[in-house]
Amino acid sequence: MHIQVGYELVFELWQPTPMALMLTIHPSRAGDILVPEAPVFDPPVTATPYRDIFGNLGTRLLAPPGRFTIKSSALVQDTGLPDVLVPDAGEHRVEDLPDEAFGFLFGSRYCETDLLSDVAFRLFGHVAPGWGRVQAICDFVHNHIRFDYQAARSTRTAAEAYDEGTGVCRDYAHLAVTFCRCLNIPARYCTGYLGDMGTAPPWGVPDFAAWFEVYLGGAWHTFDARNNTPRIGRILLARGRDATDVAITTTFGPNHLAKFAVVTDEVVDGAATAMAPAVASPAE
């Protein structure tokens, strides 16, 4: 299947403002890009690509004061297959983990393992190690948090999501990632495009999505506590310890996000749904 993805962000700035963008499709999907991204900046600026410590592709720029627009689109080829299930994938002893996985055992800005360790062992310590335990975590988080787009808060941590029982996709991912790390299961936060392909209406407002990956059986596997069912059409943008590492935009100065629009739609007979505007939200 072919998927059209893209975005349009409009900022109001009061001074020249350095910005970091994490909006480039992840290098792991480079071979699937049929029509490459070509970001447009209005007014035009010089943008410099960079690669972060996690292998993600970012962009640095200096935005001018006033109204500043960032938009792009791409066409991506996808298998159309749902997330892969490997129910016999087992956990590793900490001492046997490769370095790339070992680093995702530690607490981070939004994933307070020190605050939730006792909770994690109380809830999941009795569950047999392996894939089933991670799925038990997803089941709990999926049922514990009530999705509320209007209650999105960019500062909400995993511990706060657990206490408040409400949030958006990033909160589901943060809480599940934290529980996994508390149980010595490497887990990393992911952000990207995830459309409604293969799901029944009504469909939500297009937005970027958050899910996570865990290291089991010698490989990384996709889990999604928000949807808690295999989905099709995930297109990864970035991975990191939590939302801090993969923020869609980071602005180093005062600003107002005046418009936020995302599209991720299957192209059928050469046509895809037009990009629709969305209310600015801190969901990602």
* 126-179 residue pLDDT tens: 999 999 999 999 999 999 999 998 889 999 999 999 999 999 999 999 999 999
The backbone torsions φ and ψ at residue 40, rounded to the nearest 5 degrees and listed phi first, read: -115, 130
Task: Band the pLDDT of 280: cuts 50, 70, 90.
Answer: very low
**Model pLDDT, residue 267:** 94
Rounded CA gap, 53 and 69, in Å?
27
Task: Band the pLDDT of 204: cuts 50, 70, 90.
Answer: confident
Q: Is the pLDDT of residue 278 over 50?
A: no
Q: Which CATH number fits domain 2-80+246-278: 2.60.40.2250, 3.20.20.100, 3.40.50.1820, 3.30.479.20?
A: 2.60.40.2250
Rounded CA gap, 55 and 120, in Å?
30
The 10s digit of each residue's pLDDT in 56-77 is: 999 999 999 999 999 999 999 9
The 10s digit of each residue's pLDDT in 80-115 is: 999 999 999 999 999 999 999 999 999 999 999 999
Task: Band the pLDDT of 272: cuts 50, 70, 90.
Answer: low
The backbone torsions φ and ψ at residue 281, rounded to the nearest 5 degrees and listed phi first, read: -145, 150
The 10s digit of each residue's pLDDT in 231-262 is: 999 999 999 999 999 999 999 999 999 999 99
Q: Count CA atoms closer than 13 A to 169's CA, side-chain side.
A: 21
- The answer to whether 23 and 248 have CB atoms below 8 angstroms apart is yes
Q: Which CATH number fits domain 94-232: 3.40.50.20, 3.40.640.10, 3.10.620.30, 3.40.630.30?
A: 3.10.620.30
Q: Is the pLDDT of residue 273 over 80?
A: no
Residue ranges of the chain that CATH labels 3.10.620.30: 94-232
Assign 3-class secondary structure to 134-160: HHHHHHHHHHHCEECHHHCCCCCCHHH
Instruction: Count the Cβ atoms, other than its own, within 10 Å of residue 40.
Output: 11
Residue ranges of the chain that CATH labels 2.60.40.2250: 2-80+246-278
**Model pLDDT, residue 282:** 35
| Whole-number percent of the chain with pLDDT over 90 | 89
Strands 146-147 and 166-167: parallel
| Whole-number percent of the chain with pLDDT over 70 | 95
**Model pLDDT, residue 134:** 98
Rounded CA gap, 132 and 150, in Å?
32
The 10s digit of each residue's pLDDT in 12-37 is: 999 999 999 999 999 999 999 999 99
